[in-house]
Amino acid sequence: MKALVTGGARSGKSGFAERLCMSRASRACYIATAQAYDMEMKERIALHRVQRESAGYDWQTLEEAQALPELLQRLGGDQASQPAPMLLVDCLTLWLSNVLLAAGEDGEAASRAAMDALAAAVEQYPGQLVIVTNEVGDGIVPEYPLGRLYRDLSGVMNQRIARLCDEVFLVTAGIPVELKQLEYKL
């Protein structure tokens, strides 16, 4: 089972994704993609960690800002020795911004290559996988070219990953709705 959980900022998507994992496995690996560049972000990361730990669930937390596809491949590993763990990736849009900004002037090409690698890793992951992402295209058109590029790449990435997932949840005001059940097919 692969599930994508999307929504706007502070919509409740991360909390829902965590509860989804807890309902489907006795333990999971939480892959955090955020980087703490300032005190406010350090506080957010610490709060998320405390909230996970207080839930009484067996989370193993890994931090990976850029090499997410490689980490998914490594964790999917050798199925003969041990089944692949339930994974929660939070979140893809932070991962994409990390990749885009680290590449500098080659950001678009590097991001597209990283998205290709990510799609392959998601498709090949043999275990349960829950992925959180943001709907960044629902807001205003960014004023700057880099913002517009990021918005466009995020939309393309989200569509690609959604196609690979069995379930796609949109969370708005804390209410999750499973979109693939509602999908209109032409």
Report the C-alpha gap between 104 and 98 in whole angstroms. Answer: 11
For 174, the token pair is: 């804390």
With 0-12 CB in 10 A as exposed, 13-18 as middle and 19+ as buried, what is 8?
A: middle
Q: Is 81 an annotated catalytic residue?
A: no
Say if residues 171 and 134 touch (Cβ distance below 8 Å).
no
Report the C-alpha gap between 64 and 67 in whole angstroms. Answer: 6
Report the C-alpha gap between 54 and 104 in whole angstroms. Answer: 39
Q: What is the dihedral of CA 169, 174, 95, 113, to 10 degrees?
A: 20
Strand partners, 128: none
> Residue 163: how many CB atoms within 10 A of its CB?
11
**β pairing state of 175-178 and 167-172:** antiparallel
| Catalytic, out of 13, 48, 52, 151 | 48
- Enumerate the active-site residues: 48
